[in-house]
Chains A and B, each alone.
Chain A
Amino acid sequence: MRTDRKEGNAVVPIPWLATVSTTRSVAPTTITSCQGVKMDQYRSIGLNIVNRDKQNRSRWFASFTAVAVLTTALSYGSAANAADGAIIVARALDVGTLDRDAGPGDMGNMVIRSILDPLVLLDRDASIKPGLAESWEISPDRLTYKFKIRSGLKCHDGTPFDAEAVKWNFERMARPETTGVSAIRNLDDASVEGDVAVIRFKTRNDAFIRALGALRYGMLCPSSDKADGTFAPIGTGPWKFISWTKNDKVRLERNDDYVNHDPWIENPGAPHEKFLEFRVVPENVARIAALRSGEVNFAEPSYEQVAELRNDPNYKIWAGEHSGQFAWGAFTLKVPPLDDRRVRQAVVHAMDRKTYSEIAFEGQNSPINCPAPPNLPFIDQDLCAQWGQSYDPEKAKALLAEAGYGPNNPLKLTISVHQLPGWDLMHQIMLQNLKDVGIDATLETREASAFMADIKEQNTRTEGIPITWTWGSSGLDPLSPYEQQFVGAGQFNGGLGAEMDKLVAEARSLEGDAQGKAIQNIMQYILSEAFVYPIVSPGWQFVIATKSSTTGFVYQYLNMMNFNDVKL
């Protein structure tokens, strides 16, 4: 290996404050083997070629490929390695944007949250702990939230982070072009009282404080928005942004002044490693190959690769336990015979969720009984199992027979789904499950955006072929998924009706154990009616592989990756 070169490769300090670049940046390396004579290796190679062969252009052309390939192979073999204490994370997709408020999605948020710290933090038990805010007050009507901001907080560029900055953040999030900020939907205003930031809502906001600790709400420093209209994320978090080469990588550098408050993290200060890089490697095989060769330290595996690496003592699979994700299915309730509870129950009884988890997800996740993010208070899998439908093909057949369906008159049903790793295989098994109980099922798979548009349309139908469809939700608040999907019209026109609206509104108005009981009531109602069926948790982007020697990685809530404790 190249450990001998690791020490030799000093890296010229790069101004960490760089604008987002779309050019392919070549990290300058220096040759220290020349006894302190530093030279830009890349340029000198180029110049040598030109000088030497100036007279003989054709030979230069002929030898270009060989020289370029071989010289760079020899000199840069090491530069490509995870040297210099760089944590390199290979993922399939690039971030869409690094602007928190421009709709970064999960991929982007994970990177952004490495740069930005939130006001409050969520502990493993989902309790709320101080972050940038050392304390907070919530008005009983849940309209006003006051955060006392720690003193002496410094942004990566040296500017202070204070209550004014918090105000600026909420005002920025409240701009009309901001996306994905349902938790502050009815923001009234943000103001400053000394070192206290005051956030007011027009309507009662219960989910706010917990949402603040989640992936989405890291705090930017106002200097992120440059005078010339460009943007580069500046925060107070453990990693400073250096550069983003589109479709290639996002490079971050350790914030040496960092002070940790996150209860999940042992390291009290700055991260152990010097650099953190999120590299885009679209091909599954290439990601794992890069992990094997030591070129990257973290790699998203496919589920097939999980099975392969799991039994290899040299590798470790990290699976998110606090993902807040859950996969669920629902029905086009207005299309007969899905308006018949027995038919819905029969369909759910036919589904072997344990096998989905074991086969399609290589046992890396678990079947769930509650239609809610698991591992949250009041989400009791045993209770849910009593209310819902377990895998029982005989019962499914009996219920179908009761509803008038049998071998001579099979129920026609379409499973409508979107493509996703693991899910594709799960749906195949699901199709077989339904056929096994005599349902004449077909599988329709679409790409995600087409699926969303289609299901929205299908949910308005009242006749035709009935459909069952699957989707995934994530969150740290058990009511949020319901509010998003089943209350009112719902994201896919999948609202469950007035009864559901009433139950959720009631639960929202309660607190503590009373709210917990109300949540359980909602789940009992949904499960016994078989409006919605829970499938597995987590559902997507919840596994990552490393060498066994890598330690300290933490998957926090919503699969947020934390690298502060990581040692390579």
Chain B
Amino acid sequence: MEGVTPEQIEEMRRQLGLGQPAWVQSALYVWHAIQGDFGHTIVGREPVLGFLLSRLPATLALTASGLGIAIAIGLPLGFLAAYNRGRWIDNTLMFISVLGISMPSFWLGLMLLLTVPVYLDFIPVAGEGPASIILPALTLGLVYSAVIARMTRSAMIEVLSEDFIRTARAKGLRETIVMSRHAFKPASISIVTVIGLIFGSMMGGQVIVENVFSWNGLGRVAVLAMQQRDYPTIQGFIILFAAIIVTVSVILDMIYLWIDPRVRTG
């Protein structure tokens, strides 16, 4: 706390534009942000955008892997539950998925941390090397696979009650084709919606998971920036996050176009 001179403080205030009215500061921020200048981090004095973008790949890789695992687990299980709706296998799966949904990701993360190194000591736990993506991705993936499983199940069951499914069966198609071609494609419209929402919430969930597993992505940046009151970084983080979510929803709309011909021409 010592050694900071009033001149330094004044210089800092001037740099940060703190002498100006709040609306001028906000307008300046927006003006600069439009030009891609989100200011400099308070800790380290780096350009915020470059700093955040350098962490983005790690976060996107983790989200993509987590989403991949969530889909890889959730989709088939939801499928299986829908196919066996009302039977014990459906009930069991849905019970497990309730556990999954109600399980906080940080708790699952800690449980994995406590157990995995004991039994599978070749899986890294402390964020070093590409293999260390396994545990955080699994944590995100397992939690969200429950959501996807439930959504897949209910979307499939809804579609399975449609007339065209009866038509498909009346044609003598095999049940697997009825499920995968006739039921899944329409159901995937709502599943894709959920996956889009999950992507957003997963990006949020990363903040916790990245800290638990020392994954050096945006989530770590966000937590540290908050601890250090690094406002430019936090602002930049929020804007970047929002931009990602908007991008994802645009991608989602394009996926709708691809899945649903009614959107295409309608």
Give B74 Cβ to nearest chain A Cβ, in Å.
13
Question: What separation, in Å, do the CA atoms of A246 and B126 have in the docked complex?
Answer: 15
Is B102's beta carbon under 8 Å from chain A? no
A65 touches B220 (CB 8 A): no
B129 within 8 A of A: yes
The complex places the Cα of A181 from the Cα of B61 at a distance, in Å, of: 43
Residues of A near B223 (CB, < 8 A) are 282
The verdict on A286 contacting B131 (CB below 8 Å), with A64-B68, A68-B65 known, is no
Give the complex CA separation of A290 and B215 in angstroms. 13
Q: A73-B131, A77-B123, A296-B126 are in contact. Are A182 and B117 (CB under 8 A)?
A: no
Residue on B with the closest CB to A45? B130
Known: A73-B134, A283-B213. A289 touches B68 (CB 8 A): no
At the interface, yes or no: A112 with Cβ under 8 Å from chain B? no
Instruction: Decide: A289 and B129 in contact? CB cutoff 8 A.
Output: no
Q: B220 to A282, Cβ gap below 8 A? A: yes
Of chain B, the residue at the smallest CB distance from A94 is: B224
**Interface size on A (CB < 8 Å)?**
56
In the assembled complex, B43 has its CB within 8 A of some CB on chain A: yes
Which chain A residues lie closer than 8 Å to B44 at the CB level?
Answer: 96-97, 246
| Listed stretches B1-9, B30-38, B180-188, B249-257; interface member | B1-9
Contacts of B127 in A (CB 8 A): 248, 279, 281, 286
Q: In the complex, what's the smallest C-beta–C-beta distance from B59 to chain A, in angstroms?
A: 11
Taking CB atoms, residues of chain B closer than 8 Å to A491 are 1
Q: How far is the CA of A72 from the CA of B61 in the complex (A)?
A: 13
Minimum CB–CB distance for A147 against chain B, Å: 23
Task: Tell me whether A532 is interfacial, beta carbon within 8 Å.
Answer: no
CB distance from A446 to the nearest CB of B (A): 14
Contact B51 A22 (CB under 8 A): yes
Q: Do A69 and B65 have beta carbons less than 8 Å apart?
A: yes
- A259 to B224 Cα, complex, angstroms: 38
Among residues of B, the one whose C-beta sits closest to the C-beta of A29 is B129
Q: In the complex the two chains form, what is the Cα distance from A180 to B51 in whole Å?
A: 27
Tell whether B77 is near chain A: CB-to-CB under 8 Å. no
Q: Give the interface segment out of A31-39, A171-179, A266-274, A310-318.
A: A171-179
Q: Does A2 contact B (CB under 8 A)?
A: yes
Counting chain B residues whose Cβ lies within 8 A of the other chain, the interface size class is 35 or more
Cβ contact within 8 Å between B134 and A289 = no
A80 with B128, Cβ < 8 A, contacts A96-B43, A247-B216 known: yes
Contacts known (A69-B65, A295-B125, A296-B126); A283 close to B3, Cβ less than 8 A: no
A80 touches B124 (CB 8 A): yes
Q: Tell me if A72 and B129 are in contact (CB < 8 A).
A: yes
Q: Determine how close the nearest CB of chain A comes to the CB of B41; give it in whole angstroms.
A: 10
Q: Which of B30-67 contact A (CB under 8 A)?
A: 43-44, 46, 51, 54-55, 57-58, 61, 64-65
Contact B216 A286 (CB under 8 A): no
> In the complex, how many angstroms separate the beta carbon of B142 from the nearest chain A beta carbon?
14
B217 to chain A, nearest CB (A): 9
Contact partners of B55 in chain A: CB under 8 A: 24
Q: A65 contacts B126, CB within 8 Å?
A: no
B113 CB to nearest chain A CB (Å) = 4
Partner of B126, one of A24, A287, A452: A287
Q: Give A452 to B2 CA distance when docked, in angstroms.
A: 13
Given known contacts A65-B68, A77-B124, A80-B132, A286 and B214 CB-to-CB distance under 8 angstroms:
yes
Residue of A nearest to B141 (CB): A65
* Interface residue? A285 (CB, 8 A): yes
- Encode A15-33 as 1/0 by CB contact (under 8 A) with B: 0000000111011000000
**Residue A292, interface by CB 8 Å:** yes
Query: Which one, A26, A73, A182, contacts B123 given CB within 8 A?
Result: A73
- Asked if B116 is an interface residue, CB under 8 A from chain A, the answer is yes
Residues of A within 8 A of B116 (CB): 289
Of B1, B64, B69, B117, the residue contacting A292 (CB under 8 A) is: B117
From the candidates A77, A96, A282, A452, name the one contacting B214 in the complex (CB within 8 A): A282
Residues in A with CB closer than 8 Å to B130 are 26, 42, 68, 72, 76
Q: Are A22 and B46 in contact (CB under 8 A)?
A: yes
Contacts of A181 in B (CB 8 A): 3
In the complex, the answer to whether A285 meets B133 with C-beta atoms within 8 Å is: no
* A-facing residues in B197-245 (Cβ within 8 Å): 211-214, 216, 220-221, 223-224, 229
Asked if A1 lies at the interface with its beta carbon under 8 angstroms from chain B, I say yes
Complex CA gap A246/B50 in Å reads 13
Task: Among A2, A27, A248, A290, point to the contact of B117 (Cβ < 8 A).
Answer: A290
Instruction: Tell me if B118 is interfacial: C-beta within 8 Å of chain A.
Output: yes
**Extra 17 A-B pairs, beta carbons < 8 Å, given A180-B3, A290-B125, A295-B126:** A22-B51, A22-B54, A26-B130, A64-B68, A65-B64, A65-B69, A80-B126, A281-B127, A281-B214, A282-B211, A282-B212, A282-B223, A285-B113, A286-B126, A292-B117, A293-B121, A295-B125
Q: What are 7 contact pairs spanning A and B, CB under 8 A?
A: A69-B134, A80-B132, A247-B221, A285-B114, A286-B126, A286-B127, A290-B124
In the A-B complex, list the 6 residue pairs whose CB atoms are closest, starting with the nearest. Answer: A65-B68, A293-B117, A290-B126, A72-B130, A80-B124, A80-B129
> Which residue numbers of A lie inside 8 Å of B, CB to CB?
1-2, 22-24, 26-27, 42, 64-66, 68-69, 72-73, 75-81, 90, 94, 96-97, 176-182, 245-249, 279-283, 285-287, 289-290, 292-296, 449, 452, 491
